[in-house]
Chains A and B, each alone.
Chain A
Amino acid sequence: MEAFRFNRASTLNQAIQSAAQSTTAQQGAEVRFVAGGTTLIDLMKLRVERPKEVVDINGLALDRIESTPTGGLIIGALAHNSDVAHHATVQRDYAVLSQALLSGASPQLRNMATTGGNLLQRTRCVYFRDTAHACNKREPGTGCSAIDGHNRMLAILGTSKDCIATNPSDQNVALTALEATIQVQGTKGRRSIPINAFYLLPGSTPQRETVLEPGDIITSVTLPAPTPGSHSLYLKLRDRAAYEFALASAAIVIKVDNGKIHFARVALGGVGTRPWRSLEAEAVLQGRAPDTATFRNAAEAALKDARPASENGFKVELSKRCLVRALTMSVQPA
């Protein structure tokens, strides 16, 4: 691991000023925040991340989970994944988020990992994680080793000729279906970023993963009040029953009224270069009967533009079946 300066931020402003010194908030950042450390320290050991300065933000008071006056929820950026997953309001009103969090990592990692850190988790692509291999995300312009290499775990949606790396998160797929907003504070003040506008497609700049700029710090994630009568769930399919990333997953928020789908929100995991909100599936579902035919049509629409690589063609069918199964489960009586 390369040597770095270590500092603790005691105020938000201190953290922002430290991070503002970095030339980028993306891959290659010279200044990094450390919260849980489960992504950053992992990547620093691999020399994928080589910050010159690490700023410990755990002293900042950003770990509360509080209801809003309008019935929504504010989840502090430093709230631990385990605390969010076991929170009574989350389990009652945003079950998909609790299920997604509990399906990921391990109890130990969930005790360390934070909401903000989870938003910024990095791809598990073996070539990104191995500095001996060419990787456009880690070192722009060097090429993508995965396209002609081992790509079974990689993306089929949102890919480009320069990068096919999957976003491996469960939390963020659930937050996408819940239409979360990410609260950020930076050198120019505060802003609110809808999660659907937070992540970038790789395109020709796979090293840029989010819209964050130097100095930006995520302070919280806000969730809108749940619609009365709606249900949500998360379905994750993977090679092992535990402690493994998704091959395909689906986060559903749905309300059925008088035998018709009143509204539905669909996000897919394991298959996209970012958490994949599927407006195409939602358009099929809206106003229709919640039956198998509708669900299959929605799945077809969701995966219509899938472009598999050499080893992950199976994900197209798997993701469709995952979505159909998740929708079927979501409308079953409790």
Chain B
Amino acid sequence: MTKHVPDTEVERATSEEAARDNEDSKPLFGRVSRRSFLSNLGAAGIAATAPPLLGAVSSPLPAALAVPDSALSVEGTVPVKLRINGEDHHLQLDPRTTLLDCLRENLNLPGTKKGCDHGQCGACTVHINGRRVNSCLSFAVMHPDDEITTIEGIGQPGHLHPMQAAFVEHDGYQCGYCTSGQIMSAVALLKEPVGPTDDDVKQAMYGNICRCGAYPNIVAAVQYARKHA
């Protein structure tokens, strides 16, 4: 939604939201997250209606994102309860909403990335009941009984998942855009029957592509995590 907001209001909204940002998440520019900063810019005064909470897995959603009763009467929308990273969310969704778009746009969990939107790049990889899937090729309303895990749910700054730590240690990324999907894929791989060699890892990870070409380091990170998990 957009509304014309005078500059002073933008400043106030930005600083209010900076105060609400989870102190533990260490977002990019001090206490303001990238997404909230970009959302509040713009000549037309585009403003987010609710502040995003990057990395704040355990914080409740702000009131503005809870489903108001009037939404139940929006034609064509479907109610669904989704369980993401151990938390239940009650939503009213256009059934066309993919799980990917629901995570990023409705639930403010933008760690999962949209690369191709057609199941061909793996950037959108999440876990459904522990298995890796492409969230771009599933409708959110199809998953009321599933345990969904995103990159935000497997570790946090200060207590990273061993796979995340391995990616950092082995420089397993450059621009970082494929990285969430790579890590989610690699974590799922730990519970799959995969042979011991680097070639086996490449074979198991080929559903995640990397335009920067960080593959050798990705394989090294995965192999390290497998040996030390």
Q: Which of A3, A41, A56 contacts B76 (CB 8 A)?
A: A3
CB contacts (< 8 Å) of B185 on chain A: these are 107-108
- Whether a CB of chain A sits under 8 angstroms from the CB of B46 is no
Taking a contact as CB atoms under 8 Å apart, the answer to whether B134 and A108 are in contact is yes
A6-B98 contact given A41-B139, A109-B207, CB 8 Å threshold: no
Residue B85 CB within 8 A of the other chain? no
Task: Verify B134–A109 contact, CB threshold 8 A.
Answer: yes
Residue of A nearest to B138 (CB): A37
Q: Is A61 an interface residue (CB 8 A)?
A: no
Shortest beta-carbon distance, A94 to chain B, in Å? 18
Shortest beta-carbon distance, B181 to chain A, in Å? 9
Is A190 in the interface zone, CB < 8 Å from B?
no
- Stretch in contact with the other chain, from B48-56, B125-133, B150-158, B212-220: B125-133
Residue contact B133 to A112, C-beta cutoff 8 Å: yes
Asked if B82 is an interface residue, CB under 8 A from chain A, the answer is no
> In the bound complex, what is the Cα–Cα distance between A178 and B118 (angstroms)?
31
Interface size class of chain B, counting residues whose CB lies under 8 Å from the partner chain:
20 to 34
A3–B132 Cα distance when bound, in Å, is 28
Which interface residue of A3, A36, A58, A106 has the most chain B CB atoms within 10 A?
A: A106
Contact B133 A243 (CB under 8 A): no
Bound together, the chains give a CA A112 to CA B138 distance in angstroms of: 9
Chain B residue numbers with a CB within 8 Å of A38 are: 119, 134, 137
> B203-229 interface mask toward A, CB cutoff 8 Å, 1 = contact, 0 = none?
110110100000000000000000000
Contact A111 B95 (CB under 8 A): no
B-side contacts of A5, CB under 8 Å: 76, 95
Q: For the complex, give the distance between the alpha carbons of A58 and B144 in Å.
A: 11
Q: Is B6's CB within 8 Å of the partner chain A? A: no
- Inter-chain CA distance A194–B78, complex, in Å, is 39
Q: How far is the CB of B101 from chain A (nearest CB, A)?
A: 11
**8 Å CB contact of A3 from B96, B122, B134:** B96
B interface residues (Cβ-Cβ under 8 A, vs A)? 76, 78, 94-96, 98, 117-119, 122, 125, 131-134, 137-139, 141-142, 185, 188-189, 192-193, 203-204, 206-207, 209
